[in-house]
Amino acid sequence: MPKLDFDFSEVPDEIKPISPGKYVLEVAKVPEINPAKSGNGLNLVIDFRVTDDGDFKGRAVKDYIFLNEFGLIKAKKLIEGCGKEASATGIDTEELLGCLVNALLVASTFKDSSTGETIANTKVSMYLKA
């Protein structure tokens, strides 16, 4: 049987959330449109990587944009922040892959549905122009 040959006494119990602030994020995979957990509507799901040098370089960030009248504003800011045109004909999400966008990250918490534990994380508050 394989053995995990590591000193786990040196491994922290949790990952430190990314500090709030402005970061340059790269779209790491083609954004997907998935049903919202509520069953009422759709989410645009975007996976990013932090590109800024420093402690958080390479860290993953995920944004879920609920596609209602408010979420569409955030989606438009993402598209424009990527240097793409948010036109009347929409955009193929594949066009966003690899784009760099300035984003404001803020501290947040959520409740783990399986444990009930409150977990600290960081989420995208807004997309900014370069």
C-beta pairs of 29-37 under 8 Å, 24+ apart in sequence = 29/97, 30/93, 30/94, 30/96, 30/97, 31/93, 31/96, 32/93, 33/67, 33/93, 36/66
- pLDDT tens-place string over residues 34-93: 999 888 899 999 999 999 999 999 999 999 999 999 999 999 999 999 999 999 999 999
Examine the pLDDT at 130 and tell me if it is beyond 80.
no
Cβ–Cβ contacts within 10 Å for residue 27, how many?
A: 21
- Does residue 52 form part of some domain? yes
As for how many domains the chain has, the answer is 1
- Does residue 83 form part of some domain? yes
Q: Can you give the residue range of the structural domain that contains 49? A: 8-128
Examine the pLDDT at 5 and tell me if it is beyond 80.
yes
CATH number for the domain that contains residue 75: 2.40.50
- Does residue 3 form part of some domain? no
The pLDDT of residue 112: 87
